[in-house]
Structure 1
Amino acid sequence: MLRELRPALVLLLALTALTGLAYPLAMTGLAGALFPAQAEGSLIERGGTIVGSALIGQSFTGTGHFHGRPSATTAPDPADATKTVPAPYNAANSGGSNLGPTSAALAERVAGDLAALRAENPDRPVPVDLVTTSGSGLDPDISPEAALFQVPRVARARNLPEARVRALVASEIRGRSLGLFGETRVNVLALNLALDDLARR
């Protein structure tokens, strides 16, 4: 019986070492060598301080900044650990809201967001990504339409000409990856950092 088990055990140990140790270590090393910034989390630094990641959205709520998509992520309630509270862009708890199309809570939240956005810019239709969450709840990007929709509010809050803010948005639009993957997008953190730089000039 040991003669039959020995080859199976040797194969199990060999494949565990190969696929569980050698391959992941080799890929990690290769990624670090070929794509060091991406392997370290695509971190964005300003003045020696890390201000965020190009891959994880942040909650911007002030009128003088562009806002990202709504985020459905949560965190434990400090008052009761058995419950959760909304925590937008909580990278430790990625996930959608799991609310379906018949959910009254979802309909109420979307209606409230729509009303606020229509009051902010009544002359333009509200882009869908400004009222819908992404599957991860951490999406760092919005559509160019969503960024352009916010230009009047941001320009008023920053006391900047709309044309200047619109040109800034245009300069931050990124196309599909390799021309094929994803959608045309604007990274909200990068756009807000460029906006802060513009306001300081």
Structure 2
Amino acid sequence: MKTLFQSIKLLLVMTFLLGGVYPLVVTNLGAWVFPSQSSGLLLEDNGTVIGSELIGQNFSKEGYFIARPSAAGEDGYDALSSAGSNLAPTNKLLLDRIDASEEALHVRFGEGDIPSDLVMTSGSGLDPHISKLAALYQVNTLAKERHVDEVQMLELVNQHIERKFLGFIGEERVNVLLLNRALDKNFGVLNP
């Protein structure tokens, strides 16, 4: 009986420390050390939150860079339902979705090799980045859609490329929301 009571006391103390005190300390320390990151790196336009640098969004309007597809939630890009599709590489549903994405991309951007991240979802379904190659794939078409010089569009993309961490970890990538905001800033907002 004595061992049982000691075990219960230890369980209660550890639950209080590891389930209450520790998360509070880490959360508050994170908010103090990384204030903007802990609040979600929210972007505002005239006082209205328009998105987060950390969460992907769907951009389907002509004249804007498109993000990678999302399997998060029923319609995709649902931050409350972060998930991949969990479909096997040979699953017909996945193959049909990829074929439909490729067809839509060929209609808008023309024939050519499509970067895989424009047809494949990320593991979370909320990746805000596309590869450098995926951004460059869209440059010519967006320059035509916005009636700007291709060189100007290419320069804008190059300014928004995030380099490899420490020069060798990860891949070069572009945050689609930040790039699309730069499009509006540099070339004007497109009418709906």
**Fold-level similarity (TM above 0.5):** yes
Instruction: Tell me which of 171, 177, 193 is aligned to 2:159.
Output: 171
Shift of 1:4: 2.3
| 1:118 and 2:106 are equivalent in the alignment | yes
- 1:149-191 residue CA offsets vs partner (Å, 9 max, x unmatched): 1111211111111111111000000023344543211000000
Name the CA distance, whole Å, in 1 between partners of 2:31 and 2:168: 25
Match of 2:31 in 1: 32
- Structure 1 181/28 Cα, relative in aligned 2: closer, same or farther at 3 Å? farther
| 1:7 and 2:6 are equivalent in the alignment | yes
Name the CA distance, whole Å, in 1 between partners of 2:129 and 2:142: 17
Name the CA distance, whole Å, in 2 between partners of 1:178 and 1:18: 36
Match of 2:140 in 1: 152
- Structure 1 102/169 Cα, relative in aligned 2: closer, same or farther at 3 Å? same
8 Å Cα contact 1:63/1:153 also seen in 2: no
- 1:12-61 residue CA offsets vs partner (Å, 9 max, x unmatched): 12111111111100000100000001111111122222110111101100
Q: Structure 2 counterpart of 1:108, which letter?
A: D
Work out the percentage of aligned pairs sharing the same amino acid. 46
Match of 2:52 in 1: 53
Q: If each structure's strand is expressed as a fraction of its own residues, which one has the higher value?
A: 1
Superposed CA RMSD = 1.7
Instruction: Tell me which of 96, 112, 120 is aligned to 1:132.
Output: 120
Name the CA distance, whole Å, in 2 between partners of 1:121 and 1:12: 60
Structure 1 stretches of at least 4 aligned residues deviating more than 6 Å after TM superposition:
none
Name the CA distance, whole Å, in 2 between partners of 1:182 and 1:20: 33
Match of 1:16 in 2: 15
SS of 1:150 mapped into structure 2: helix
Name the CA distance, whole Å, in 1 between partners of 2:86 and 2:35: 35
User: Runs of 5+ in structure 2 lacking a partner?
Assistant: none
Q: Structure 1 counterpart of 2:159, which letter?
A: S
User: Runs of 5+ in structure 1 lacking a partner?
Assistant: 76-86
TM-score norm. by structure 2 comes to 0.91
Match of 1:184 in 2: 172
Name the CA distance, whole Å, in 2 between partners of 1:123 and 1:114: 10
Match of 1:72 in 2: 71
